[in-house]
Amino acid sequence: MSRPSKTILNDKYSYGFHDSVKPVYSLSRGLSQRVVEEISSLKAEPAWMFKLRLRALEIFKNKPLPTWGADLSSIDFSKICYYVKPSERRESTWAEVPTKIRNTFTKLGIPQAEAKFLAGVGAQYDSEAVYHNLKTEWKKQGVIFLDMDSALREHPDIVKQYLGTVVPLADNKFASLNSAVWSGGSFVYVPRGVRVNIPIQAYFRLNAQNMGQFERTLIIAEEGSFVHYIEGCTAPVYAVDSLHCAVVEIIAKPYSHVRYTTMQNWSTDVYNLVTKRAVAYEGATVEWVDGNFGSKVTMKYPCVIMKERGSRVDVLSLAFAGEGQYQDTGTKVIHLAPDTSSNIVSKSISRGGRASYRGLLKVASQALNVKSKIKCDALLLDEKSRSDTYPTIQINASDAQIEHEATVSKVGEEQLFYLRSRGLSENEALSMIVSGFIEPVAKELPMEYAVELNRLIRLEVDGSVG
Amino acid sequence: MLHLLEIRNLHVKVGDKVIIKGLNLIIKPGETHALMGPNGSGKSTLSAVLAGHPSYKITVGLLRYLGKNIIKLAPEKRAGKGLFLAFQYPQSIPGLSVEEFLRTAYNAQAEIKKNKKLNVLEFRQLLEQAMAGLKFKIEFLSRSVNDGFSGGEKKRLEILQLAIFKPKLAILDEIDSGLDVDALKLVAQSVKRLVTAKMAVVVITHHQRILHYLKPTKVHVIMNGKIVKSGGRELIAKVERSGYEQFIS
């Protein structure tokens, strides 16, 4: 189990957190050139990064809010605190843990049986041990795994070479905002031919390093390398000012294989507006597993650009829209080269909320022999829930093989009755139906994540654990 | 002998429609009852009511199981007290494996029955024993419950549950429908093998064939929400010969 959860188990939300609220250093609220200057100078950044931030800030100011998807008009950019000094941030944010997340962790952590269970998993999957063992092995082979701030200090050339190449500053308003004020995030560099066979897990490290709400992640897999990067889960990841704008850029060089897994649970007042994108070169494989829980609004469209021949993409995504939540998610795949293929499975569950699939499939005219399969399944748990599918398909090549399938199902009374007639309570029955629905996603996750995902589902479905 | 199931003057509504209109039935441990009747006569409604389907409302009447009124008892509690319904149309649960489903259900019932819960390995043993004779391949256990199953596979999974849950009262709702001759024989013989001396069985069917295997002790004809005729096995032949119309009074 994850490091953060263990800490929580041990500390049981000791009141100490409450006493250490005051951030030692935080910028005044609102966004201005001065704020950007301060962020940059506090980090002692190179001049090029500072200029990049300023350019991004200008673009951000001039770009209108998107007019599609969720209503974002109530975000007040002048009320947001764009920078909290990292070394203090963890404590301050712990004290500000919203009640719902606190309850989640309390529920996850308190029962003794759960504690035992977690310890058992922890003994087998001790993240820390894995981390330390790997660390030397990685280093020897030239793998770099740092937070972005350190990466910028220690490897400025690599960062400069790649940052903003996959998600340009002007990509969208929130990518511009991130580029202007980013802080934290992960940097992963895997040299040619190196295969990192154990997943690189970002959550505990990010916790220690204080993950920001404008984190910037850059993953570079050189030719023939392999890496599996995981982040999120129910780690204490949540925004201070209810706006989370991350940017993730992934570069999969020829014949590399990158798997990116993220499983996030946000506090229900957060606007989660992130831009995540990968570029796949010749023969490269990008696999994406993306889970979204919580938040008030999530707008997230993982995108993979298949730039060269023979690249391949697999995307599995899952969104859960609870009471009053709006999950607007989808996958964008862009086939620019021949013999490329994409396979997308998108699952959404709505319970009192709204889940939309907004996907894009684009096949360029020169991209011959493209195969793409898109499957969107929505599961509605009650009458209030809503699900929409907005697929955009643009095919400019003559011979693309495209499959698109969308299903919406409601948990039926007959299904529930069938399970109840076998001895399961109504909530148990509902949990089993939902767990079954997300099984294609859960089975792609490392064991401890799958366990946690199922527990999250149970929490969402019946408010209990185990 | 104590009545296992006692139904008196039962009236049942679904929405605004009254489907069961004054039905009486007494079942004792060890008995096998056949319930025959045309489509729409209330057979499946009766089975759903017995299992506790929330959409079916009992407006008048008495429903006792093991001597207790179960009208308000939740379906899962009835299951825990040994009442089992083999569905005519078993529901599919995509992504939920047969094995996990059966183990979870077994342990949920074990909790109600205050029996020992079984861990993964213990349950697997029980399952493999129960599967013998039902012609299941072991891969069957990792398939999603009833998802993409053939008609025969669905019915055999119901029978497998009969074998695992070992109920006191088993209601088999058209367990013979949609089966070819060989599959029917397998299902019928499996049921016969699984019925213990104390177990009571209600076989709901249109056809006599399964009754040749199961040899009911009592046969009832249900029409328009009521039992219009009860008797021994001679009734089966009578239905077969002249249909149900003869019983309209």
Q: How far is A436 from chain B (nearest CA, A)?
A: 4
d(CA A223, CA A431): 43
Question: A85: pLDDT confidence band, cut at 50, 70 and 90?
Answer: low
Select from A413, A421, A436 the Cβ nearest to the Cβ of B95. A436
A15: pLDDT strictly greater than 50: no
Phi-psi region of A283 (alpha: psi -120 to 50; beta: other; left: phi over 0): left
Strands (DSSP E) found in B28-109: 32-36, 56-65, 68-69, 83-86, 93-97
Helix axes B120-131, B98-113, angle to 10 degrees: 110
CA distance A200 to A227: 8
Residue B108 to residue A439, Cβ atoms within 8 A: no
Task: For strands B144-145 and B93-97, give the pairing.
Answer: antiparallel
pLDDT digits (tens, 9 = 90+) for A247-286: 999 999 999 999 999 887 777 778 889 999 999 999 999 9
The radius of gyration computed from the CA coordinates of chain A, to the nearest angstrom, equals 22
Residues of chain B with pLDDT under 50: none
Q: What is the mean pLDDT of residues A167-185?
A: 93
Q: Which of B86, B79, B84, B119 is nearest to B103 (CA)?
A: B119
Mean pLDDT of the residues in chain A: 78
Residue A456 structure tokens: 């999250």
The Cα A164–Cα A144 span in angstroms is 19
Min Cα–Cα distance to chain A from B54, Å: 8
Nearest CA distance, B234 vs chain A (angstrom): 33
Segment A48-76, tens digit of pLDDT: 999 999 999 999 999 999 888 888 888 88
The amino acid sitting at A305 is I
User: Is domain B31-50+75-247 in CATH 2.40.30.10, yes or no?
Assistant: no
**pLDDT for A382:** 85
Write out chain A residues lying below 8 Å of B53, CB-based.
Answer: 417
What tens digit of pLDDT does each residue of A368-380 get?
999 999 999 999 9
pTM: 0.78
CA dihedral B46, B51, B57, B62 (to 10 degrees): 70
Of A420, A426, A432, Cβ closest to residue B104: A432
Preferred mutation among A421, A426, A462 to probe B, highest tally of B CBs within 10 A:
A421
User: Across the strands, what pairs with A294?
Assistant: A266
Domain ranges of chain A: 419-466
Q: Which of A464, A268, A461 is nearest to A381 (CA)?
A: A461
**Residue A195 DSSP class:** B
Strands (E), chain B: 5-14, 17-27, 32-36, 56-65, 68-69, 83-86, 93-97, 144-145, 169-173, 200-205, 218-223, 226-231
Residues of B in contact with A418 (CB under 8 A): 87, 90-91, 93
Q: What is the pLDDT of residue B117?
A: 94
d(CA B77, CA B205): 26
Query: pLDDT at residue A100 above 60?
Result: no
The answer to whether A372 touches A401, Cβ cutoff 8 Å, is: yes
Q: Please report, as a single letter, which amino acid is at residue A391.
A: P
d(CA A250, CA A163) in angstroms, rounded, equals 10
Can you give the residue ranges of every domain in chain B? 31-50+75-247
Query: What whole-number distance in Å separates Cα of residue A340 and Cα of residue A363?
Result: 10
CB-count exposure of residue A446 (10 Å: 0-12, 13-18, 19+):
middle
Q: Which residues pair with A271 in a beta bridge?
A: A243, A297
Half-sphere exposure in the Cβ direction for A399 (13 Å, CA): 9
For residues A60, A64, A70, A76, the Cα torsion angle rounded to the nearest 10 degrees is 60
pLDDT tens digits, residue range A319-344? 999 888 899 999 999 999 999 999 99
* Residue B118, H or E segment: none
- Record the tokens describing residue A234, joined without a space: 């129910």
Task: With residue A406 as reference, give the H or E element that holds it.
Answer: strand A401-410
pLDDT band, very low/low/confident/very high, at A202 (cuts 50, 70, 90) = low
- ipTM value > 0.90: yes
Which of A418, A435, A439 has the CB atom closest to B91's CB atom? A418
Per-residue pLDDT, averaged over A404-412, amounts to 86
CA distance B120 to B137: 18
Question: Using 50, 70 and 90 to split pLDDT, how confident is the model at A77?
Answer: confident
> Cα–Cα–Cα angle for A426, A427, A432, nearest 5°?
100
Q: Which member of B53, B89, B95 has the closest CB to residue A439?
A: B95
Instruction: Using a CB–CB cutoff of 8 Å, tell me whether A336 touches chain B.
Output: no
d(CA B78, CA B50): 9
- A420 CB neighbours in chain B (<8 A) are 52, 74-76, 79
